[in-house]
Chain A
Amino acid sequence: MYVRLRSEEYFEQQISSITAQSRTVGLLSVPYQTLWEQAQLYIQKKLDQEEAEQRSSEPATEHTDSGCETMSEEEDSADLWVEKYRPKSYLELLSDEGANRTLLHWLKLWDKIVFNRDRKVKQKAKVDSKNENRFQKKLSHVLNDGLDEHGCPQQKVALLCGPPGLGKTTLAHMVSTHAGYNVVEVNASDDRSPDVFRTQLEAATQMRSVMGMQPRPNCLVLDEIDGAPAASIDVLIKFVLGKDTGRGARSKKKGRGGGVLKRPVICICNDVYVPALRSLRQIALIVQFPPTASSRLAQRLLEIARKQCIRTDMGALLALAEKSHNDIRSCLSVLHFFKSRKKDVRLVDIQKSSIGQKDMQKGLFSVWQEVFQIQRPRRKLFSTILAKGDDRLQPMPDLNSLEMKFDDMSLASRMLGVLKTVQCCGDYDRLMQGVYENFLSMSFRDSRLEAVSLGLEWFCTADMLSHKIHATQNYILMPYQPFAFVMWHFLFASFSWPKITYPSTGYEVIVKEQKARQILRELMRGMAPLVRIHANPAQLLFDTLPLLLQILVPTLRSVSMQLYSAREKEDLNHVISVMIDYNLNYVQERTLEGNYIYNLDPNIEELALFPGQKPARLLSYANKQLISREVELEKMRRTEARLQTDTDATKETSCSNTVLPNHRQTLQPKTISAEMQCRDFFGRVVQHGKTPADRACTDEIVKSDIWFHYKEGFSNAVRRSVKIQDLLNSGGM
């Protein structure tokens, strides 16, 4: 019996190696040991803090000393605080919990295809607290939970949007590392021309890094996508939908068996309503970023301030958060700035400082809201912290209100407020469209319609201004545009919460107009030339087409064409020739219900009929079918006739000169008078009177080289005698 003896060092080594391995698969995102160290540090820090607090309660002179000490020590790190205090783990994220979870949930859906492990179905959802349920409900209407046939989530792209400084980029990075991806970032500083973009996309989603310690799958983060050229976004969309047929890509795709996007792509933008993103919006999971709660931000700021030993209080930080519109980045910069001036941060300082006065671009919706809503008078914001607590519950625009100083609702302040918001947004045309499409559904009191007509006159003015600006490039008129919004605000705003929809009617109308024009062009293209020269598009639309629709509907019975009376035949012929002249025909189409109908092609009914109007008379299905067939036949007949006349014309010319040129002469086949053969009922040749002489004939045939013998059920009917030497010869060849 042998017992293997090992030294204790060996065991320790083994254990350490196991723990090292377990790093990758551990349940915790941070290995136990580091966690332990962190905890130790944390406890240590806490002790230190308590000490410091004790000290701070002591006379101020002492405190400044210690402050200076830490400061000098901190000076060394030239890092921006934004970098320094970037959240290190998912739990530290400051952004809205809902948004975070939606993104993480979406990213986890990719596990199936990326890591090849099934998603754990949550079983304890019912047991969970109310909060959890509410979240689930909220989530379910944004995120499509199902997977498609490749095992990818339904929505292949996530689109994070929100104003700057809320931590979108941080969230994207954090979440994707948390879910075990390697982040590949493409932002505005990179070249984003379509070709480069495509290669980047392919590189990021179809390959994985071989170098490095842990080869993880990539997660592509496209930052600042609202600035990318529209062509690149088209590339992205095609790529995502798997119908990219770009150069070079095709050959690769074949090898891969259909290019399906197999890695998550996260896009980040500030403004979701950029025209270039329109089509992306439809396929992406959109995660809207609500502003961070100011209290939460202030809490974090307080922590940081404590770490940096800045003397401040919650009220000041809340004010700071409020003033910067919850922009984490700018808050930190301000704190950093105060720190470098070695000053305390007090409420007064915050109020005096000029931060938060920057051009804050608001989303379109909040601008519209501000136009349509009169702000309620605000309480003094910075007096007490207690008041703040209530304030958070108020609707969003309150938090975003611009002018802190104006707490009343005088006309002047309202005007300034609206003016400023609109000016900051700058996209006057779109804003105007939004106001235009929404103002009639607002609840304002105007029984005599004077406000409406005045408001519409202002719309006219605004339209004229913008037309002038665009037509003559005369941007000196630009500053006058926002004043129309002030006017609309005064006319249409109310206290109630406005329900605003995105203005899409204008765009839809343009699309429909283009479609109508396309139909008209199609019609014009095929019209008979003699008819065409007397028609122009406008005339067709006004005069001809509406009446044409009625002319094309004669009274026809639904019977076979042979049974038509002379008049009906005439009518039918008339309709057919009109339809050919105007390049119309009926085509069979399948409706959504699954039955077939005949529609005109080009569909001039769409051009001439208005909603709510029914054509006076309709042709039956059978009639339409008949007409459609006859039109085709007539067209063929006409082309034939034309060919005929052409050949006739050539013949005439050929007749005029008596001698035909050589190439025109054709061989005339001679008629051969064949003997009439008797056939029986089935068409078989009846042979009568088979004489022995005939038999002798057949024998002669058999004796010749090739003969024919009919054998039922046997296929090699033609036989030929071949000598063996022929075979050998051919083999030798």
Chain B
Amino acid sequence: MSLWVDKYRPNSLTKLDYHKAQALHLKNMVQQGDFPHLLVYGPSGAGKKTRIFCLLRELYGPGVERLRLEHMNIQTPSNKKIDITTVSSNYHLEVNPSDAGFHDRVVIQELIKTVAQTHQLDPSGQREFKVVVICEADCLTKDAQHALRRTMEKYVATCRIILVANTISRVIPAIRSRCLGVRVGAPNKEEIINILQSVCRKEGLSLPNELAERIAVQSNGNLRRAILFLETCKVQQYPFQPDQKVASHDWEIYLKDTAKMIVLEQSPQKLLQIRSRLYELMIHGIPSEIIFKGLLQELVKNCDMQLKTQIVEKAAFFEHRIHLGSKPIIHLEAFVASFMAIYKKFMEATVADLF
């Protein structure tokens, strides 16, 4: 527990720094000793998991913190063996079924059902239900989600399910209606600055407000990122300078460079280079949506309004198509090529106008 992100994570609902009203609601809800299935959603780095963990602690006491890793082997109907790692305490179980790829349905069926079916042997010492936390619920396949809906109803007496998702648009309505939705929004700039300052205070460091503000802006509402930035800054240079450079992610730099290359020159050979760079990004596990977004943000920077609309339209078109196809690289490259074509035409037109 030594990365600041982990070290200064609040561990009770009362200690949370923002969305305090919501925290109070959660506390009240749990005080009854019971709660419905939850669907906690919000952007990455907003503190969904932290909030859930605080909730569990509120419910079961500090025993929740005695965690252990367990590896489970599950066999699919097609005799493929899947290795799933779960983190569990005596009171709850956390699993990420998306680790199993498109076999996640089996994980839901086998693992969660067995947990849900077993009753507590000694209900006097604890609650009569266990909690199952399912991470990345929005990445579950439709099959898995359908497998979940009956389980949720049937075993409600012995098990509560907390789904964690970034967005609920990919969660089927049947599941959404069975859960109490809890939205954890990203903290705003002031909140992030406050938290950064309090972290520094606990570490015994002094943080200039300008730097805190710049970190908060760069983190884009992602608290985890903000604290990591802060720690990186500390490692790089201490005492802090107000105009200190905030380190950014390598992949972001790489993406920006790629966009610059696209604007600089438009030719098939360049496209070939761009392709290898895009491949590189994908090898490093950056999903295509993020690449698309990053590219677009950089590319439209030096375009006028009319061009912007065209390009954004193209981007939307190809981004949609990514989901219809199976090879993201082709669609990314198609977007780059069409941008090149539009941009080149535009440049030629402006040059012609000049003379």
In the assembled complex, the Cα of A582 lies from the Cα of B229 at a distance in Å of 18
Count of chain A residues near B, Cβ 8 A: 66
Q: Is the CB of A547 within 8 A of B228?
A: yes
Q: Which residues 305-355 of B have a CB within 8 angstroms of A?
A: 318, 321, 324-327, 329-331, 333-334, 337-338, 340-341, 344-345, 348
Most buried by A among B249, B268, B326: B268
Identify B337's interface contact among A452, A546, A548, A577, CB under 8 A: A452
Identify B334's interface contact among A453, A520, A525, A529, CB under 8 A: A453
With contacts A459-B334, A539-B224, A551-B235 known, is A529 near B87, CB below 8 A? yes
Identify B224's interface contact among A449, A532, A543, CB under 8 A: A543
With contacts A449-B341, A532-B87, A574-B2 known, is A440 near B269, CB below 8 A? yes
Q: Is the CB of A440 within 8 A of B275?
A: yes
In the assembled complex, the Cα of A463 lies from the Cα of B54 at a distance in Å of 46
Q: Is the CB of B44 within 8 A of A457?
A: no
Q: Which A-chain residue is minimally distant from B266 (CB atoms)?
A: A449
Q: Which residues 456-494 of A have a CB within 8 angstroms of B?
A: 456-457, 459-460, 463-464, 466-468, 470-471
Q: For B279, what are the chain A residues with a Cβ–Cβ distance below 8 Å?
A: 505, 509
Q: Is the CB of B1 within 8 A of A581?
A: yes
Q: For B334, what are the chain A residues with a Cβ–Cβ distance below 8 Å?
A: 453, 456-457, 459-460
Q: Does A644 contact B (CB under 8 A)?
A: no
In the assembled complex, the Cα of A529 lies from the Cα of B68 at a distance in Å of 6
Q: Does B85 contact A (CB under 8 A)?
A: yes
Q: For A534, what are the chain B residues with a Cβ–Cβ distance below 8 Å?
A: 5-6, 9, 49-50, 53
Q: Does B247 contact A (CB under 8 A)?
A: yes
Task: Tell me, rounded to whole Å, the shortest Cβ–Cβ distance linking A574 to chain B.
Answer: 6
Task: Tell me, rounded to whole Å, the shortest Cβ–Cβ distance linking B14 to chain A.
Answer: 19
Q: Is the CB of B324 within 8 A of A613?
A: no
Identify A463's interface contact among B5, B276, B331, CB under 8 A: B331
Q: Does A512 contact B (CB under 8 A)?
A: yes
Q: Is the CB of B271 within 8 A of A452?
A: yes
The segment from B72-80, B143-151, B283-291 found at the interface with A is B283-291
In the assembled complex, the Cα of A241 lies from the Cα of B348 at a distance in Å of 61
In the assembled complex, the Cα of A571 lies from the Cα of B205 at a distance in Å of 14
Q: Is the CB of B337 within 8 A of A463?
A: no
Task: Tell me, rounded to whole Å, the shortest Cβ–Cβ distance linking A648 to chain B.
Answer: 15
Q: For A516, what are the chain B residues with a Cβ–Cβ distance below 8 Å?
A: 283-285
Q: Is the CB of A613 within 8 A of B253?
A: yes
Task: Tell me, rounded to whole Å, the shortest Cβ–Cβ distance linking B136 to chain A.
Answer: 6
Q: For A513, what are the chain B residues with a Cβ–Cβ distance below 8 Å?
A: 282-283, 285
Task: Tell me, rounded to whole Å, the shortest Cβ–Cβ distance linking B32 to chain A.
Answer: 25
Q: Does A531 contact B (CB under 8 A)?
A: yes
Over the window 249-261 of chain B, the binary record of Cβ atoms lying under 8 Å from chain A Cβ atoms (1 yes, 0 no) is 1110110000000
Q: Does B118 contact A (CB under 8 A)?
A: no
Task: Tell me, rounded to whole Å, the shortest Cβ–Cβ distance linking B122 to chain A.
Answer: 18
Q: Does B241 contact A (CB under 8 A)?
A: no
Tier of interface size on chain B: 35 or more
In the assembled complex, the Cα of A574 lies from the Cα of B234 at a distance in Å of 12
Q: Does A98 contact B (CB under 8 A)?
A: no
Identify A546's interface contact among B135, B249, B283, B327, CB under 8 A: B249
Q: Does B141 contact A (CB under 8 A)?
A: no
Q: Does B297 contact A (CB under 8 A)?
A: no
With contacts A529-B69, A542-B249 known, is A448 near B280, CB below 8 A? no
In the assembled complex, the Cα of A456 lies from the Cα of B344 at a distance in Å of 17
With contacts A440-B275, A464-B321, A533-B53 known, is A581 near B3, CB below 8 A? yes
Over the window 74-97 of chain B, the binary record of Cβ atoms lying under 8 Å from chain A Cβ atoms (1 yes, 0 no) is 000000000001010000001010
Most buried by B among A512, A532, A533, A608: A533
Q: For B85, what are the chain A residues with a Cβ–Cβ distance below 8 Å?
A: 524-525
Q: Is the CB of B6 within 8 A of A547?
A: no
With contacts A453-B340, A542-B286 known, is A550 near B235, CB below 8 A? yes
Q: Does A707 contact B (CB under 8 A)?
A: no
In the assembled complex, the Cα of A571 lies from the Cα of B237 at a distance in Å of 12
Q: Is the CB of A547 within 8 A of B231?
A: yes
Q: Does B12 contact A (CB under 8 A)?
A: no
Identify B232's interface contact among A441, A449, A539, A547, CB under 8 A: A547
Q: For A571, what are the chain B residues with a Cβ–Cβ distance below 8 Å?
A: 235
Most buried by A among B222, B253, B329: B329
In the assembled complex, the Cα of A41 lies from the Cα of B236 at a distance in Å of 95
In the assembled complex, the Cα of A610 lies from the Cα of B252 at a distance in Å of 11
Q: Does B67 contact A (CB under 8 A)?
A: yes
Task: Tell me, rounded to whole Å, the shortest Cβ–Cβ distance linking B221 to chain A.
Answer: 12
In the assembled complex, the Cα of A460 lies from the Cα of B334 at a distance in Å of 7
Q: Is the CB of B330 within 8 A of A456?
A: yes
What are 17 A-B interface contacts by the 8 Å CB criterion?
Answer: A448-B348, A449-B271, A457-B334, A459-B330, A459-B334, A460-B331, A463-B325, A513-B283, A524-B85, A530-B67, A531-B1, A533-B133, A534-B49, A550-B232, A550-B247, A607-B284, A610-B280
- A-B CB proximity, top 5 nearest: A529-B67, A577-B2, A456-B334, A463-B325, A453-B337
| Residues in chain A within 8 A of chain B (CB atoms) | 436, 440-441, 446, 448-450, 452-453, 456-457, 459-460, 463-464, 466-468, 470-471, 505, 509, 512-513, 516-517, 520-521, 524-525, 528-534, 536-539, 541-544, 546-548, 550-551, 553-554, 571, 574, 577-578, 581-582, 607-611, 613, 616-617
